[in-house]
């Protein structure tokens, strides 16, 4: 498999008043194209900090992050924004949909920033909604959708730019058990189609949908195990 993510000796420190917090100490990790990786750890383990760095929402204090052959470790905010829009599709626990926009308009939004024409935006957004089973909810706004349907819209939006990585941060955190199972089945289907997924979760049963679990503690990787799919 081709290497998609390569991080070496990544650390992240935050200065709060007179105190320095070392959220990540020295983390090295490789993720290849087509992998489905779950990132786990208790509160304060560093998993959220690592997720922010992997998602180009933050930069490390030291170390190197190579994403798809490009060193993004020391980019400016504007450069990181360009990388995010091109390389990463985000799925959040809180859906992050714009309430005044329809499902179609929410899904098409990343294409606005990419400079795609309105006609092509609408065609691609419709295809993405069909792929997640929401062809009958295209013109509905978020408050007219169930939690599971809103998360499906978020997944469709994450896929719209054909990103290198789908980064899912607690994607089932606000959903009931039945809907969580449906969303994870959707994520597995997306993975089968060849997408690379990094799933951040604190739930063991959700993590076991992945093929590999990276466990963090105290700013370090504690375990990195492949999951047996029997």
- Within-domain flag for 100: yes
- One digit per residue, the tens of pLDDT, for the chain of length 230 reads 589 999 999 999 999 999 999 999 999 999 999 999 999 998 889 999 999 999 999 999 999 999 999 999 989 999 999 999 889 999 988 889 999 999 999 999 989 888 899 999 999 999 999 999 999 999 999 999 999 999 999 999 999 988 999 999 999 988 999 999 999 999 999 999 999 999 999 889 999 999 999 999 999 999 999 987 65
> Torsions phi, psi of 189, nearest 5?
-65, -40
- Within-domain flag for 28: no
Q: Which two tokens stand for residue 116?
A: 């795609």
pTM: 0.92
- Within-domain flag for 16: no
CATH of the domain at 41: 3.40.50.300
- Within-domain flag for 29: no
Domain count, the chain: 1
Q: Find the domain containing 86 and state its range.
A: 35-60+76-226
């Amino acid at each position: 498999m081709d290497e998609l993510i390569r991080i070496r000796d990544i650390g992240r420190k935050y200065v709060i008043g007179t105190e320095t917090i070392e959220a990540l100490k020295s983390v090295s990790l490789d993720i290849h194209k087509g992998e489905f990786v779950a990132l786990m750890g208790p509160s304060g383990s560093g998993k959220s900090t690592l997720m922010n760095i992997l998602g180009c929402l933050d930069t490390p204090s030291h170390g190197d992050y190579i994403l798809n052959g490009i060193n993004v470790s020391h980019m400016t905010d504007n450069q990181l924004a360009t990388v995010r829009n091109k390389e990463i599709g985000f799925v959040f626990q809180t859906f992050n949909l714009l309430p005044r926009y329809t499902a179609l308009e929410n899904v098409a939004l990343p294409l606005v920033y990419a400079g795609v024409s309105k006609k092509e935006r609408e065609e691609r957004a419709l295809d993405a909604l069909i792929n997640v089973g929401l062809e009958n909810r295209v013109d509905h706004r978020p408050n007219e959708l169930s939690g599971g349907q809103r998360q499906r819209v978020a997944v469709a939006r994450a896929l719209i730019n054909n990103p290198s990585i789908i980064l899912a941060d607690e994607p089932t955190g606000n959903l009931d058990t039945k809907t969580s199972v449906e969303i994870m089945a959707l994520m597995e289907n997306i993975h089968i189609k060849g997408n690379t997924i990094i799933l951040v979760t604190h739930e063991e049963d959700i993590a076991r949908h992945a093929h590999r679990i990276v466990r963090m503690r105290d700013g370090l990787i504690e375990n990195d195990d492949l999951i047996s799919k029997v």
